[in-house]
């Protein structure tokens, strides 16, 4: 094969290789953004309530280790999952109360592989953004936590602050029962909230109110 033919052959091979790469990248990206169907939450067992209250504490240190999907499902159910059907009033029964049963809090679930929104009725995580954004959640320890829950609502709803507190306490008690560390923190100032909102791709009418990181204790 002469030099010209070899050059043409190599160039064609490179073009085919580039085309294959460009074809594969969108497919990989789409795969990363697929929703996660969580296993059915385990709603029995665990630590007795009074013991969990005795063990509840805030700890700002985590081991960078993911939670099993079953544990993640149980955590999210404990936080704000569906625990009963509603017949007398509209809406689903949830594990945390909300003012006028508005259920206005959205939980953004920040994992090492991406950001999701917890959809309680379907018990799944709807994908929002791919990539490890944990370190962008407004507090350095969040970058090491297995999961950070960001509580999102319309900031004009004053009662959203209280409703978030109910959910946060549920998470604290679950963490105590499972031997996990947990830390509930405010997103201090407009700058932090704006940066977190941008990372989560929030619409203009929604704002991140608080974050809560959960994970294994450091070794």
What is the pairing mode between strands 147-153 and 124-130? unpaired
Instruction: Tell whether 13 and 49 lie within a shared domain.
Output: no
The whole-number pLDDT of residue 6 equals 43
Instruction: Tell whether 100 and 198 lie within a shared domain.
Output: yes
Position 63 confidence tier, pLDDT thresholds 50, 70, 90: very high
User: Checking phi first, is residue 46 left (phi over 0); if not, alpha (psi -120 to 50) or beta?
Assistant: left
The whole-number pLDDT of residue 30 equals 38
Question: Rounded CA gap, 155 and 218, in Å?
Answer: 34
Instruction: Tell whether 26 and 42 lie within a shared domain.
Output: no
If one counts every other C-beta atom within 10 angstroms of the C-beta of residue 60, the result is 15
Considering the entire predicted model, what is its pTM? 0.84
Instruction: Tell whether 92 and 8 lie within a shared domain.
Output: no
Cβ contacts of 29 within 8 Å, gap of 6 or more: 130
100-113 average pLDDT score:
95
Q: SS3 helix, strand, coil % of the chain, rounded to 5?
A: 40, 25, 35
Instruction: Tell whether 87 and 46 lie within a shared domain.
Output: yes
Range of the domain at 185: 36-215
2-28 average pLDDT score:
44
Cβ contacts of 147 within 8 Å, gap of 6 or more: 67, 72, 75, 109, 110, 111, 213, 214, 215
Instruction: Tell whether 84 and 27 lie within a shared domain.
Output: no
Residue pLDDT, tens place only, 204-218: 999 999 999 999 999
Extract the tokens encoding 9. 């052959």
Residue 135: pLDDT over 80: yes
Show the DSSP H helices in the chain as ranges.
Answer: 3-32, 49-55, 69-80, 159-178, 189-200
Torsion (CA) 141, 143, 149, 151 in degrees, nearest 10? 80
Instruction: Tell whether 22 and 92 lie within a shared domain.
Output: no
Q: Over pLDDT 90: what percentage of the chain?
A: 74
Question: Rounded CA gap, 107 and 182, in Å?
Answer: 16
Instruction: Tell whether 7 and 74 lie within a shared domain.
Output: no
The whole-number pLDDT of residue 92 equals 84
Best CA proximity match to 202, nearest among 134, 154, 136, 132: 154
**How many structural domains is the chain composed of?**
2
Residue recorded with tokens 């490890």: 132
Residue pLDDT, tens place only, 142-198: 999 999 999 999 989 999 999 999 999 999 999 999 999 999 999 867 778 899 999
Position 16 confidence tier, pLDDT thresholds 50, 70, 90: very low
Cβ contacts of 108 within 8 Å, gap of 6 or more: 115, 116, 117, 118, 128, 149, 150, 151, 152, 200, 208
CATH code of the domain containing 200: 3.40.109.10
Instruction: Tell whether 28 and 76 lie within a shared domain.
Output: no
Residue 58: pLDDT over 90: yes
Instruction: Tell whether 83 and 112 lie within a shared domain.
Output: yes
Residue 14: pLDDT over 70: no
Instruction: Tell whether 24 and 43 lie within a shared domain.
Output: no
Instruction: Tell whether 22 and 105 lie within a shared domain.
Output: no
């Amino acid at each position: 094969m002469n030099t010209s033919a070899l050059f043409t052959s190599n160039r064609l091979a490179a073009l085919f290789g580039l085309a294959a790469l460009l074809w594969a990248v969108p497919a990989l990206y789409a795969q990363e953004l697929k929703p996660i169907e969580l296993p059915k939450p385990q709603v029995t067992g665990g630590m007795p309530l009074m013991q969990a209250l005795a063990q509840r504490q805030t700890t700002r240190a985590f081991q960078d280790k993911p939670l099993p999907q079953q544990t993640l499902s149980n955590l999210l159910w404990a936080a704000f999952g569906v625990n009963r059907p509603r017949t007398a009033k509209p809406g689903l029964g949830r594990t945390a109360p909300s003012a006028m049963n508005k259920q206005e809090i959205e939980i953004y679930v920040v994992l090492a592989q991406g950001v999701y929104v917890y959809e309680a009725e379907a018990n799944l995580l709807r994908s929002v953004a791919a990539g490890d954004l944990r370190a962008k959640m407004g507090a350095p320890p969040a970058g090491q936590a297995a999961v950070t829950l960001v509580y999102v609502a319309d900031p004009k709803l004053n009662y959203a602050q209280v409703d978030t507190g109910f959910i946060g306490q549920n998470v604290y008690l679950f963490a105590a029962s499972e031997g996990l560390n947990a830390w509930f923190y405010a997103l201090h100032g407009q700058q932090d909230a704006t940066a977190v909102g941008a990372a989560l791709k929030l619409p203009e009418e929604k704002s991140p109110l608080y974050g809560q990181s959960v994970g294994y204790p450091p070794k």
